[in-house]
Amino acid sequence: MKAVIGRIVRDALELEAHGIGFVVINSNDATAYREDSFDNMKRFAADHALPFPYLHDADQWVARAYGAVCTPDFFGFNKRMELQYRGRLDASRKEIGPADLRRDLFEAMVGIAKTGKGPEEQHSAIGCAIKWKQDPSCAGAEIMTHR
């Protein structure tokens, strides 16, 4: 998420003008990865002037419930809270792409706001794997949720 935060903020602000809300949830293991601690999240939110709630999924329940696999992993819902979009921000990776680059999340959410339905074609999210907590019953193996 760090590499694309500027584009996420841009899209959140533009989606707000269409009446679309936005929230970001950090599900990384903050005990093993201190950079994902709640205090560091607050600092990150202030440094980037995040215009949306930035929540901490401390027990990773939300990420598991939705089957999230990477950061960022985008989920778009219609007004009936039905999942209509699951995919990437855009076609670039960490770097900013050309000005005419398709903005997958933005375009999908504007379409959902107008029609209630997500796009037929959706591309998987691109990012770092979620840093899962260790499950003691797995003898040190990481638990991964796959799509």
State the Cα torsion 136-141-145-146 to the nearest 10°: -160
pLDDT value of position 111: 98
In angstroms, the first-to-last Cα distance of the chain is: 19
Residue 44 three-state SS: helix
Using an 8 Å Cβ cutoff, are 131 and 36 in contact? yes
Please list the pLDDT of the chain residue by residue as tens digits (147 residues). Answer: 788 999 999 999 999 999 999 999 999 999 999 999 999 999 999 999 999 999 999 999 999 999 999 999 999 999 999 999 999 999 887 777 777 889 999 999 999 999 999 999 999 998 889 999 985 433 333 333 333
pLDDT value of position 10: 95
pLDDT value of position 135: 57
